Amino acid sequence: MDLADVNASAALVESIERDFGPIYGLINNAAIAPDGLLATQDVGAIAQTIDVDLTATLLLTRAVARRMLLRKQGRIIMVSSVIAHTGFSGLVPYAAAKAGLEGAVRALCREMGRARVTVNAIAPGYLETDMTADMGDKQRQQVIRRTPLGRLGQAEDVTAAARFLLSEEAAFITGQSLVVDGGMSA
């Protein structure tokens, strides 16, 4: 399914709510991160990164936000990246898209707040995932050395943050970016 297609996003939300009931929480976690210097990067790869990492997320959020506004409740979480805060050579389109998500969080929380819908971002650092599996041992060790907790993060580190932001304990937290990076960006 192409979530960058407005109709596909709306149809997906409609199908989910028909089969499972109202959506209370949305976690946007789609991302690609082609590696390469911007000066030599293929234009298609740049556009695809923005389409997947930013545009598709905004379109899916748009479809869910309409329903949350009517119900006057909900949680929206954008999965960003610490790279939106620190930058990283070779990941300019990815950094731009993730920084765009964080800007959207700050703006959207103002649109959704009166309906008691919170909008936040989680900005993970380096995690043990498919996206970091291709990292060479030398680069992996450099990242670990720069991380005060001395390890790469695990998916559970991020899911714990998401569970918190979805909970009632986080009902007064909106427009924020929660960095989950073991202190790397401190």
Please, how many CA atoms are within 13 Å of residue 52, restricted to the half-sphere of its CB? 15
- How many angstroms separate the CA atoms of 14 and 8, rounded? 10
Query: What amino acid is encoded at 166 in this protein?
Result: L
Active site residue 94: yes
- How many angstroms separate the CA atoms of 109 and 129, rounded? 29
- How many angstroms separate the CA atoms of 129 and 106, rounded? 27
Q: Is 8 helix (H, G, I), strand (E, B) or coil?
A: helix
Q: Provide the b/e sequence for 41-80 (b: ≥16 CB within 10 Å).
A: beeeebeebbbbbbbbbbbbbebbbeebbeeeebbbbbbb
Q: Is 94 helix (H, G, I), strand (E, B) or coil?
A: helix
Q: Which one of 57, 81, 94, 118 is the catalytic residue?
A: 94
Enzyme catalytic residues: 94
